[in-house]
């Protein structure tokens, strides 16, 4: 069986469609109800949380539950396309932690 190879644009489009479907699940509603940003841990109104891909789609991440987290808009905007370890390094720099 031959599989179709997707270019990055097609891959991202497919994964965004999967993410839209995931938004309508009970699982995602529960994530929002908790009202906690995955990155900063702050309590946020559910309508102020956004869906974020821990590993961004542009960097090969997928729209699967293990890769999607609720994030406040501030963290989501700061994180952008960073990978989890790049985000951790960024936070260490902000805190002045060299180690």
pLDDT digits (tens, 9 = 90+) for 21-76: 999 999 999 999 999 999 999 999 999 999 999 999 999 999 999 999 999 999 99
As given in the structure block, the two tokens for residue 16 are 């965004």
Task: Tell whether the model's pLDDT for residue 99 goes beyond 60.
Answer: no
pLDDT of residue 95: 84
**Cβ–Cβ under 8 Å, residues 50 and 76:** yes
Task: Tell whether the model's pLDDT for residue 5 goes beyond 90.
Answer: no
As given in the structure block, the two tokens for residue 73 are 């808009």
Cα of first residue to Cα of last residue in the chain, in angstroms, is: 49
CATH topology (fold) of 8-95: DNA Binding (I), subunit A (1.10.30)
pLDDT of residue 98: 59
Domain positions in the chain: 8-95
pLDDT of residue 68: 97
């Amino acid at each position: 069986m031959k599989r179709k190879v997707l270019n990055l644009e097609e891959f991202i489009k497919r994964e965004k469609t999967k993410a839209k479907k995931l938004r309508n699940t009970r699982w995602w509603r529960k994530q929002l109800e908790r009202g906690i940003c995955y990155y900063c841990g702050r309590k946020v109104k559910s309508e102020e949380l956004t869906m974020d891909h821990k590993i961004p789609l542009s960097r090969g991440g997928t729209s699967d539950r293990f890769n999607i987290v609720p994030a406040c808009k501030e963290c989501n905007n700061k994180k952008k396309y960073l990978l989890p370890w790049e985000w951790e390094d960024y936070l260490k720099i902000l805190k002045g932690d060299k180690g």
